[in-house]
Structures are given as structure tokens and as C-alpha cells.
Structure 1
Amino acid sequence: MDVIVEEGHGVIDVTEESEKMPLPSDNMVTSDFKEDTSCGLKIPFRDDRLLMPMFQRFASPRCSLALLSMAYFFSDGIGSGVFSSTISTVEKQFQLHSTETGLIAATVDIGSCVALLATIYFGENIIKTQWIGSGIVFVIIGSSIFVTPQYTSTEYGFGEEDLNYCGNVTLSVCDISPLRWYRFVFMAGTFFMGLGMEYITTIPLSYLDENVKQSYSSLYHGIFNGVGAIGLAAGYMLGGISLQLYNNPSKSVLITIDSSLWVGAWWLFFIVGAAALLLIVFPVFLLPGNLSQSDNVRRNREHKIKSHRVSSRVASRLLSLSCNKLFIAITVSETFHACLTFGVMTYAVKMGVDLYGMSESTASLALGSLSIISTVLGYISGGVLVSKLGLNLKGILQFMLACSVLSCAFSFGFLIHCPGKKLGIVNINKTNAIVGPCNAQCHCTTENYNPVCDDDGSLYFSPCHAGCGIQEAFSVASDCECLLGKNVTNGTVSSTKCVSERCPKFPLLITLMFLCFLSAFLGVTPSTQATLRSVAFDERTTAISVQRVVQIVFGRIVGRLAFGAVFDNSCLIWSSECGAEGACRVYDSELVSRNLTILITTGKICIVVVLLCAISLAQRRSNHCGKANEPPNILISTK
């Protein structure tokens, strides 16, 4: 295999040490290196590359799209899908508070912000493929760190089943456990995952855009975003499947997945995903900074937008973007979209369980399948339509407006919900003690949630709250005072009786939800095209990065907090943790449904208003450019 080192303007043999040229005095990448179209690996701490001509056939737009899409698939599948579906299990195993697991999740966004700030600072003065490859390395490192506590901590043991019947309640031990310190290890892992995921998500958009014809750019972006969406949904579903395996799959245990002490193998697909990324990172590093035969594309695109050439300084680029009203309008609309998308994604399983009466596994599979179909169809179809219709900037914005109006109309479907849970004890006092005459003498606690039901489906917080004097098994009790006088066959309660009846409205619910998601995701790929066409050619990477920072700070984080507040404000019964208020156990489904509809439709209306402003700005820009290109009027005298 011939290996050549390219340096500066010349090409030399690596065996001729005496003929090597001196290294550049600074660390900036030379223009020849940045514009190189040959495959090879960059030598660390030098401006040289090891060229590998045998891989040159793969330096094409299609192969690049395949590699970058697969990187997006696995990174988003790990950091968003598997993480979201398994974080509650991590909380249980390592005895973490909900606020602490929320902070772990927020660390992903902090890592993303750091990555985006670096991208904004360097702008176009980067070799995009090297940064994307570095992002893959960061995700691998983050995943490895995240699963480290599974192997360095003491093995999880479920111990004895707690007693929780009238007059005999096992109280929780509130001493601080050394396991809780592992939350800092999890935060380090999610930080690196967020750092790498943002490079993999953001930089390929401008890399693909500058290496293909503009008419193909939206199609490539649609495929890229669609594959990433499949990865997220697949990771979400696979994470749920991994929880069906015990934490240590090789160990035989007596408890089943229905036990409150069950902890699944949450770590499994973090390792699988990291191994898959390890196979992809080398080919990504080999990709050139610019694909061959892209010079004409780049030269033509650089003059598409009539604007002055901005300086490479970050302050000048940011000043230019801050004065671009059209870019600001598009960014605001995308921020509202991110707020709604990440809010729904974070609480999708909770919505399925509390609004539609599904089990958690069923909710993961059903909503995961719905997410795959709607996002893939939306991303790819949106890109194809923009490409086939040949829409200009104004046409793209009008297409986005139509999608938002449809999505807003379908969002009223969230008003439909299934009947909520029927409570056995209805007089809930201000401290959520769930007390009644039948269990007042039992001295029950809300620290041990062990839901049981009677024959008519009424829910009790635990056998103790049902006034049961005999606990036959962990979730079966008899001699229950609270069942006296009710039309039930016996005085026994059991968790197996807490089976939600099939909701007759479910087909209509799932149809409206699908149409709402599909119409919303149809506008995602066109929005990327609108962003790229609203700024100067050499501001594209900075523009996308600035947009992502705004989406993370004011979209993702705010959306998760807003949707969380909707559920918290609709809670009927709270558990407690060492005397403090813990997690919500029962929600008012009607109140959740109404508040969610208000939140989602308000966000959709804001998107519509902002897009109307953006269309007006695009029309004004088009008129201005048209007048600037008109030939001067010449008056010819006939005298």
C-alpha cells in the first residue's frame, strides 16, 4: 500500500526524512489542506495528511451521505433514544432523586451548547469531516463512561420484598448511599455524548449542502434527518426491550418484571451502539474536506446571495446574523418547534400510560413505531417535495406555513383521552396522605408505592391504604376494611386486577396524533433549507450553530420544563421520599389532556404567526433584489 504525506503545496515520500518541509509556524489549517479532495487521515498536531488513494472511490456525495447518516443513526439512538427510555431504571438502581436524573439529562444539552459555541467560533475555518469524526469519538467516550458504574459499583440486589399492610409497614432507610455519588459519573458521560452528538447533527448539514447541487440539497438533508429520526425511535424501542432482561442477564432471580424491585439491563445498547460507532469513525475521518468535482458547485453557490463578504472573525459573523431579520424569524419558528418536539418526546411514555391507559412497554412500542413512521415520512417527503417543486425561499416558507396550520388543527386531537383511574379512597387531604375511615388506624406511608386494585378496578396506593390486615404476597392482600360495603365478590386486592380496559377512542387518538406529527415533521427539512438560503454562503455553519444554541436553550430545556409542569399541576396523588414530596403516582387524565392541548396549540399558533412575518420579509428581500438587478431606464428622444 502506497502511503504519501501531503504537506503545503507539495507531495513527498514519507521515507525521505531529509526532504521534509518545515512545519507551518501557526496551527491554522492551510487553504490547500482545507480544499483537498483526496481521502486520507490527518496527522495529529500537524497540517499533514496520510493520503490513501485506494479509498478515493468512496469520496462521493452518496457514500458520504451513507456514512454520515449511519453516524447520526447510532449517536442519536444512544444519546436520545436509549437514554430516554432507560434513565428511570438508572434512577432506581443508583437511588437517585428525580431532580438528579433531570440534571443528568440536562447535561446532554450543556454538552451540545459547548459544541455549538466551538462551531460558532471557528465557523467555516474547520475541516468538517475531522470535526464530525471527533464527534463520533466523543459519543463513544461518553457511552463508555455512562456504563462504567454498572461494572464498578456493587452488584444490584433486590433483597427482601417490603411489607406494606395495615399495622406492618417497612419504612425506607434514608441514609445517604455511596451509590448516589455515581451521578457525577453519569453527568460526565452525558456531557461527552451531548458534545459529540451536536457535531454529528449540525456540521453534516453544511458539509452536504456545499458538496451537492442546490436542487439536491433538500433531498440529501431529508434522507439524513430521516435516518437520524429512525435511530432515535429505534433506540427508544430497543432501550425498552433491554429493560425486559434482568440487570445481570446471567443471574437467575426469583422476582419478575412486574415487581417494583426489578431493574433491567439498561446498559446493554449503550455498549452495542458504541461498538457500531467504532466501526464508522475510521471511514468518516478518511473523507476529504471537500468532495471531488464540487468546485463548480461551490463557486456558483457563493454568488447566489447578494451580500457583502463577512470577515472570518466570529464577532463579524454574529453581527451579520443578528441584523438578518429573516434568519431571526426562521430561528424563532424552529425554536417553538423544538420546544414542542422535545417536550412531547420526553413525556411520550407518560402520555401513553396516563392518557391512553397503556402499559409502559406497550406505550414504548406504539409511540416508538408512530415516531418512526411520522418522522421518516415527514423528513424525507419534505425534502423531496422542496426538491421536486423547485421552491425558492418564499415558496419554502409558504410550504412550512401550510404544514404548521395542518399540525395546529390536528393538535386539538389531544383533547380526546381515555377514562382515568378510579380511586378507591377519594378524600385526599392536602398532604396527599390518602386517608379514610377504613385505613386511618393503619399508619400507612406513601414512601412504598405498591398499587393494588379490587374487583371493580378501584385503585389503592398500597395494601395498607386498602386497610388490608393480611399480606399474602407482595402485591396480594386480604381482609381489607376499605372493601366492606362495596359490591365486590371478596375482600382481596391484587396488582393483577389493575388492568386498564381497552379504550374505544384509541384508534381515533393514534390517527390524529400521527397526522399532527407528520404535518409538523414535513416542515423540518424545508426549514433547514430556508435557513441556509437566508444567510450568506460563508455564514452557513455559523448560522446553523447559532440556531441550534437558541433551540437548545429556549426550545429543548424550556419545552421539557413546560411539559413537566403540565403533568405536575395535574397530579392527584404524590408519593413521598424520606418525608419530602416525591414522584406523582396518579394523574387527572382530563386535566392533563386539556393542559397539553392548550400548550401545544399555543405553540403552533406562535409558529404560524412567526412564519407569516418570515414570508413578508422574504417577499421584501425578493423585491429589493429584483429592483437591484433591473436595467436602468433609458429615454430616447425622437427629436
Structure 2
Amino acid sequence: MGAKDLSVNSDPAVSQPPARRRSPFHAVKFFVFCHSLLQLAQLLVSGYMKSSISTIERRYGFSSQKSGLLAAFNEVGNTVLIVFVSFFGSRVHRPRFIGGGALLACVASLLMALPHFVGEAYDYTGRVSSESTHTQTHIHGPHKAPLSPVTASSNQSCSRREGPAQLGAYPLLLLGQLLLGIAAVPIQPFGISFIDDYASRKNSPLYLGILLAVTSIGPAVGFITGSLMLRFYVDFDKLSGDQIRLDHKDLRWVGAWWLGFLMASGLLFLTALPYLFFPSSMPKELDTSKVLRGTFEVNEQSEEMSLLQFLKSFPRIALRTLRSPVYLLVVLAQVNLAALLSGLATFMAKFLEWQFSQTVSNSTMMIGGVCIPLAVLGTVLGGVVMRRMNLSVRGASKLCTVAILLCLFSSTPLLFMGCPTQKIAGVFPHSDASSCSSGCRCPQEAFNPVCGSDGVEFRSPCHAGCTATETDLSNNATNFSGCRCVAGVGMAASGTCGGRCSGLLVPFVALLGVTSFIASFSQTPSFMMILRTVPSEDKSFAVGVQYMLFRVLAFMPGPVLYGSVIDTTCILWGKKCGQKTSCQYYDLDRFRQRFLGLQVVFVCGGLLCFLLTVVFFRRRAGSREPQPEGKG
């Protein structure tokens, strides 16, 4: 078979190649185009998931820790299977494996949206059931009707909420994330190796640069898509317009988180189809040396090993690679920065939402439209600076150290930019429930925030002791009167009292964008340090070990750690049917200090590792550049 292929390749006749080149599926440029679209669709799902995580948390009553685990769960399947990519390499039909991964991602994305269709409509507190009126639920004076009808309807609502469809939402989402991680295994590694095999030496860097750019843009597109989709109410497909009584600014608002997964699933299906028609191999661009190509094929076959031999050799090569001090320090620095990135990407939109009283859609738009593009720009400019200055490995270590040091200076002021927690009756500062509303027998799960005319916030009109309500033309409650717990005129307006320092939002986002730009400046130089400090025969393994450590030490535990930290700042947990749900109020000062303080800790960890590389190079005698280590 190999001899036959070699004879065809060396045939000087020109009638065969033009016939093959007529089909776009035999052109590497068309493969690059298709793979760019596929990676854009795949990473759109990843970015969209992170942009919607706080909405999913509110919809199904998850804690931030459970949300962090959900966000990180796609790394589980990816980490388990990524090792085998190095072994299979060109032994399989790579385009079809890529297409199979894309189709699996399509199914997984559909699975992510499934809980919306099998579950009941979103039943936010404030309307315990459709049979009970809002006035009976939350506004009770001495002359009002008793609570027994509400209690009965609440019990019926609880029985629906605790059905199999609602209880199965979290396992379904976890399964979808797991399949998304498995689907991503063949897409990028097989795509890059296939392009590198059949692109010319001149065009290969250009093609890989296009893929890197699309890889960077994909999450930003996901966040922007999330911002647009979350402007629609979650059940707009189940309710008529006049039945939707919440607006974007309401703390109970849940956007159509499932809509983006359906759109992404369609994109993944369309981008998967071309891979079914690509051949397992194609003519190499500007292939001027057929003999060398035939020699390469022979060498490749001579270096093949069995799967058992590969699995036995992998730990040995991994340990040998980790014994390189520079490699280990740089990877640990990157792990710190990756953990920082994973946590901020998952929860920064939620932070902006709570800290500055922003809507979810506005928060995700700021992340996708400002922070991620600036991080992409920093990554590109880091590579440009390294190329223009022709930096050595020692120079690259200094560049990384300076960049992370500047990042520390720019991120520290963020700790002091934010809003204090508004005064919430019976919640913050902590105090016993007001006696003025004790006769109202307010439901434990009542949550419909109102802001009193005295500047104090109440969990619901019932907790404010209100006895009358004013509605607009759409029959939505806007103002409440006769509120016994509100000092002065006894009026309260629907909504929260927060957001009184929204003027700090623009400086905060600007400084956050600058921090993202500076931190990403070290990405390309640190990656080049890894490639230049390991033996050439171990480079592919070194990169594989690097990404495996990223997943095990950063991308998997990072969101869970951040979520756990956020949960410690909660001052009022929601309750439905006697069970704890998502947090309703946070201590904003603690939220800011612990959330951003953890960011500073990771930045300091990365800075320490890069500083140690500088010290190592200074103490290393006899050479300005570290020499690759042989197999020991």
C-alpha cells in the first residue's frame, strides 16, 4: 500500500493531481476554513455556558459551589481521554474523528437545553402558584383573607417542583458537560496535526495563527451571545407576553439560558458535516520533494509503538520532563494563571451583577466585549514583542516576570472598588425579624424585594408590613403603601435599594480589562520557554503534560474553589419547599474581598514561579541559554 502510494506521488503525469484538486475537500485551505468554523462553534458553547452559569444557578436553586462543579465538569472527560490523542495521531481517519466529536458536541448541547423542556415553568417566589393572587400571597393586613389557600397551592407547587424532571436537571447538565469535554478531545489536536501534515512549511504558521485567533475569539462570541439570549424571559415559549411580569432588573429574573445551547447545537451540526467528506490524507501544498515524503512515511512507520508500549512509556517521559526546573516552574506559573482565569471566567459576570446592581445580560456583555478581546490582544502582542526583540529564554522569563508584576499592581486596586451592602431589614445588619410585620405571617420563602422610602430594603412587601399596592397598566405592582415597617410616609417601591455606587462600574471594568491585557502578555513567552527547554523528541509529550496539569490543577478545581468562596459570603439563602436554594443576598464587601483576594493570591503564585526562573538562569553557570536535557 505504501509503495503504491509512493509510486503515484512520484508520477510526473499532471493529469491526476488537477482532477483531485477540483474538489475542495482535497485542499488544506478549505480544511482550515471548516476547522475555524468548527472551533468557533465549539468554543461558543464553552463561553456561553460560563455566561449563563449564574442564570442556571438561580433557575434551579444551585449553590455557587455546585455551579462551579458544573462549569468544570467538561474537563473530566477531556482529561481522561486527552492522553490517547498523542498515541492515535495519524493512525486514524482524523477528519472523521473530528466530525464525530462535533456531532457528539451537538448532542451534548441539546442535552444541556433538555431540562427546560422536560421541567415545569419557572415558578419564582412572589407568585406561589397561578391560582393564588399576588395580593393574597404577599400583602396581608388584619382584614385580609387567611393564608390557608396559599398554603394549599404552595404544597401543590412543591409537589410539582420535586418531580423527577426538576430533580434530574443537575444530573442532565453534568452529563451534557461531560459529553462536551469528551467531544472536544479529537477536535483541536487532530485538526492542528492534520493541517501541519499537509500545509506547506511557509503557510503552516499562518493557518495555525488563524486557528489560534478563532480559539481566542470563540469564548467572547459565547459571552456576547449569552448577553443577547438572556434578555428573553426563560419561559417565553410557554407563557404569553401579558403573563410575564418580571423585568431585567428584578433579582428574580431568569433569562432564556437554554436558547443559546439550541443555537450552538445547530451550528455544531452544520460545521460537522464537511468532515464526513474529507479524505484521510490529501496532497501536500507545494510538495517539492516526493522522495523526502516517502522517507518520512517510512520513518513514521518505524517509530510506531503499540498502545501498551505507549502507556508504559508515558509516565517515564512525563517524570523526565517534570525534572526540568524551568519547565516545572513555568508550568506551575501557568497553572496559577489558569486557575485565576477559570474562576473569573465563570463568576466575574455574577460579581458585576451583584456588586454594581447590573443585569445579567449587561454583565456578560462587559466580559465578552471588553475583557476577553483585550486578553486576546495581549496574547498577540506578547508574541510580537518576543519576535521583534528576538528574546532568549532568559529574556522571556524576565518579560513574564515584569508582566505579572504589573498585573499585581493593576489588580490590587480592584479590591477597594465596589458597593457596600445596602441595609436589609432583618438580614443586614443582622437582627431579629421586625415585630411590625409579625402579624402578617409572611411565608418563609417570600422573596420579592422592595425598597422603602427610608432607604431600607425588605425581602418582600409582606416583610415591610404593606397593606396596599399600586399597579401599572399591565397589572404589575410598582409601589406599595401603608407599610408599617417603613419610617416616614410608609411607602415602598418594587426592586432593590442597591446600585448607589454604579459610577464605579466603568473604572472597574476598564481596570479589569487592563489587568486581563497585562496578564495575557505572558502567555506566548511562557509557552516558548516550555518548547525551548525540553528535548525535541519530548516536545509533544511536554505540551500534553502541560495541558493535563492545567486541567487537573486549574480548570477542574478552579471554578469549584471560587464557587465555594462565594458561598461563604452569603447572608441569606433562599428556601423553597423547606429546602435551601440559591443565595438571595450577599455581604458585598466580603464578596469583593474574598473573590478578588483569591485572584491576587493566584497572581502572586505565578509571580513567585516566574521570579524563581529568573533566579535559576542567573545562577546557572557556563551558558546564557538552557540546553535541552537528554534522556536520562
Q: TM-score, normalised by structure 2?
A: 0.77
Q: Is 2:458 the counterpart of 1:460?
A: yes
| 1:315 equivalent in structure 2 | 312
CA distance in 2, matches of 1:524, 1:597: 21
Letter in 1 for 2:363: A
Q: 1:205 to 1:602 in 2, by over 3 A?
A: farther
2:73·2:556 contact (CA, 8 Å) conserved in 1? no
| 2:448 equivalent in structure 1 | 450
CA distance in 2, matches of 1:601, 1:215: 42
Letter in 2 for 1:385: V
CA distance in 2, matches of 1:85, 1:119: 29
| 1:633 equivalent in structure 2 | none
CA distance in 2, matches of 1:155, 1:357: 26
Of 17, 22, 34 in structure 2, the residue corresponding to residue 54 of structure 1 is 22
Letter in 2 for 1:136: A
Q: CA deviation at 1:547?
A: 2.2
Q: 1:447 to 1:457 in 2, by over 3 A?
A: same
Of 135, 143, 149 in structure 1, the residue corresponding to residue 101 of structure 2 is 135
| 1:20 equivalent in structure 2 | none
| 1:23 equivalent in structure 2 | none
| 2:42 equivalent in structure 1 | 75
Q: CA deviation at 1:126?
A: 5.7
User: Secondary structure of 2:106's partner?
Assistant: helix
Q: 1:123 to 1:413 in 2, by over 3 A?
A: farther
State the structure with bigger RCO (CA 8 A, min sep 6), 1 or 2: 2
* More displaced 10-residue stretch of structure 1: 51-60 or 456-465: 51-60
Q: 1:252 to 1:95 in 2, by over 3 A?
A: same
| 1:277 equivalent in structure 2 | 268
Q: CA deviation at 1:433?
A: 8.2
| 1:22 equivalent in structure 2 | none
Number of residue equivalences: 571
CA distance in 2, matches of 1:409, 1:215: 41
Q: CA deviation at 1:95?
A: 6.9
CA distance in 1, matches of 2:51, 2:422: 27
CA distance in 1, matches of 2:510, 2:63: 36
Structure with higher helix content: 2
CA distance in 2, matches of 1:227, 1:622: 42
Letter in 1 for 2:100: S
Of 216, 233, 236 in structure 1, the residue corresponding to residue 223 of structure 2 is 236
User: Secondary structure of 1:585's partner?
Assistant: strand
Of 112, 121, 138 in structure 2, the residue corresponding to residue 164 of structure 1 is 138
Q: 1:424 to 1:609 in 2, by over 3 A?
A: closer
| 2:164 equivalent in structure 1 | 178
Letter in 1 for 2:139: Y
Post-superposition Cα deviations, 1:226-246, rounded to whole Å, max 9, x if no partner, equal 322322122122123212234
Post-superposition Cα deviations, 1:134-190, rounded to whole Å, max 9, x if no partner, equal 332221121133234445556778852652235677565443212222443333322
| 1:492 equivalent in structure 2 | 491
| 1:419 equivalent in structure 2 | 419
Question: How does 1:79-118 map onto structure 2 within 5 Å?
Answer: 80-90=46-56, 103-118=69-84
| 1:44 equivalent in structure 2 | none
Q: CA deviation at 1:289?
A: 5.7
Post-superposition Cα deviations, 1:221-262, rounded to whole Å, max 9, x if no partner, equal 665343223221221221232122343448523224426776
2:112·2:172 contact (CA, 8 Å) conserved in 1? yes
CA distance in 1, matches of 2:337, 2:390: 24
Of 233, 241, 246 in structure 2, the residue corresponding to residue 253 of structure 1 is 241
Q: Is 2:341 the counterpart of 1:341?
A: yes
Q: CA deviation at 1:591?
A: 2.3
Provide structure 1 residue ranges, at least 5 long, that are not aligned to the other structure. 1-6, 12-31, 38-50, 303-308, 630-639
| 2:405 equivalent in structure 1 | 405
* More displaced 10-residue stretch of structure 1: 310-319 or 287-296: 287-296
Q: Is 2:541 the counterpart of 1:550?
A: no
| 2:299 equivalent in structure 1 | none
Percentage of identical aligned residues: 23
2:419·2:499 contact (CA, 8 Å) conserved in 1? no
Q: TM-score, normalised by structure 1?
A: 0.77
1:321·1:327 contact (CA, 8 Å) conserved in 2? no
Provide structure 2 residue ranges, at least 5 long, that are not aligned to the other structure. 11-18, 297-302, 471-475
Of 483, 488, 491 in structure 1, the residue corresponding to residue 486 of structure 2 is 483
Q: 1:597 to 1:118 in 2, by over 3 A?
A: same
Q: CA deviation at 1:10?
A: 2.5
Q: 1:531 to 1:294 in 2, by over 3 A?
A: farther
CA distance in 2, matches of 1:625, 1:522: 22
Q: CA deviation at 1:270?
A: 2.0
Letter in 2 for 1:177: G
| 2:380 equivalent in structure 1 | 380
| 2:610 equivalent in structure 1 | 611
| 2:396 equivalent in structure 1 | 396
Q: CA deviation at 1:203?
A: 5.0
Q: 1:497 to 1:86 in 2, by over 3 A?
A: closer
Post-superposition Cα deviations, 1:252-280, rounded to whole Å, max 9, x if no partner, equal 23224426776543333223223223333
Q: 1:52 to 1:164 in 2, by over 3 A?
A: farther
CA distance in 1, matches of 2:33, 2:564: 40
User: Secondary structure of 1:423's partner?
Assistant: coil
Q: CA deviation at 1:336?
A: 0.8
User: Secondary structure of 2:460's partner?
Assistant: coil
Q: 1:95 to 1:52 in 2, by over 3 A?
A: farther
Letter in 2 for 1:450: N
2:415·2:597 contact (CA, 8 Å) conserved in 1? no
CA distance in 2, matches of 1:211, 1:623: 37
| 1:3 equivalent in structure 2 | none
Q: 1:295 to 1:545 in 2, by over 3 A?
A: farther
| 1:188 equivalent in structure 2 | 175
User: Secondary structure of 2:467's partner?
Assistant: strand
CA distance in 2, matches of 1:605, 1:215: 40
CA distance in 1, matches of 2:113, 2:517: 35
| 1:29 equivalent in structure 2 | none
Q: CA deviation at 1:518?
A: 0.5
Q: 1:92 to 1:178 in 2, by over 3 A?
A: farther
